[in-house]
Amino acid sequence: MPRLDHLGLFVPDGPAAASALRAMGFTLTPIAHQTTTDPATGAAIPAGTANLCVMFQEGYLELLFATGDTEAGRTVGAEAAERAGLHLLSLTTENAETFDASRRAEGWEMRPLARFARDVETETTPITARFTLARPGKGLFPEGRVQVMTHHSPEALWQQRWLTHANGATALKALLVATPTPEDAARRLARFAGAEAYAQDSRWHVSLGRGHIEFWPLPEASALLNAPIDTAHFFGLRLAAPEPKHLPFPPALGQGVMIFEP
């Protein structure tokens, strides 16, 4: 069963968002410019996006922003301009190609497999981190982007020097999703992930191999944010940390909330 790997925030101003995360007590990786593979030549070409990450012992947060006039760059830039905040749910599995083939066999519409790479600094020699992504067809998950990925070089990302945070956060535990139809949304994601969906009070949950997804009715999500939510989207996350607290996203990160809990 796939595991919760990371969540992606789309922001219009990467450096400003990075400063906001540092002010919240997070350690950040350096900015990395992403590349994709030219299907005709196999050469690396700019993806038009850049990222930096907040790495935990389990999972991570990815800050994404546009850097070029490419399809990916235009898409990320447009989505960040329309609504900055959480846009991406990434699960991880041992073989994204096998996962992709199995979902196609079940009748799911799938986008072409994607292969991305980015150079990552280390304390000695830089490493190229490579990933393969399986992605459902556009529109199948209106709540946000969903992907299932395989890390081919996890040692490039989970470097010890990036795993300690001043706020004590140690692990990414859950994604919070606002939706007018919690049961339908949870069951749809559970079918795609090969996981179980279950109800708990007014919310629905999907348990993964590691971590889980929570689907909140719109009024409850609005009450937690103390702000109106009228469309389905990702709006918050849970982190393992020594001290419990709720922190709203600073403006540079968009609308959302971080819940720290033991």
Q: Which domains does the chain have, with CATH numbers?
A: 3-162 (3.10.180.10), 171-261 (2.60.40.4320)
Lowest mean pLDDT among 17-31, 49-63, 114-128: 114-128
How many other C-beta atoms can be found within 10 angstroms of the C-beta atom of residue 12? 17
CB 225 within 8 A of CB 235: yes
- Average pLDDT on 110-131 reads 85
Mean per-residue pLDDT of the chain: 94
Query: What is the rounded average pLDDT of the residues 129-133?
Result: 92
88 pLDDT exceeds 90? yes
Which of the given ranges, 28-32, 123-127, 146-150, has the highest pLDDT on average?
Answer: 146-150
The neighbouring-strand residues paired with 133 are: 114, 149
User: Residues 242-262: pLDDT tens digits?
Assistant: 999 999 999 999 999 999 999
Task: Kindly report, residue by residue over 207-247, the tens digit of the pLDDT.
Answer: 999 999 999 999 999 999 999 999 999 999 999 999 999 99
- Report the predicted TM-score, pTM, of the whole model to 2 decimal places: 0.93
Is the confidence at residue 44, as pLDDT, over 80?
no
Q: What is the pLDDT of residue 123?
A: 78
DSSP, collapsed to helix, strand or coil, labels residue 59 as coil
- pLDDT of 114 > 80? The answer is yes
pLDDT of residue 25: 98
Q: What pLDDT sits at residue 96?
A: 98
**Stronger pLDDT, 42 or 113, i.e. the higher one:** 113
Angle at 172 between CA 257 and CA 202, to 5 degrees: 55
Q: What is the mean pLDDT of residues 4-16?
A: 96
Secondary structure of the chain: what % helix, strand, coil (to 5)? Answer: 25, 40, 35
pLDDT of residue 39 exceeding 80? no
* pLDDT score for 241: 98
CA dihedral 57→58→64→67, nearest 10 degrees, is 60
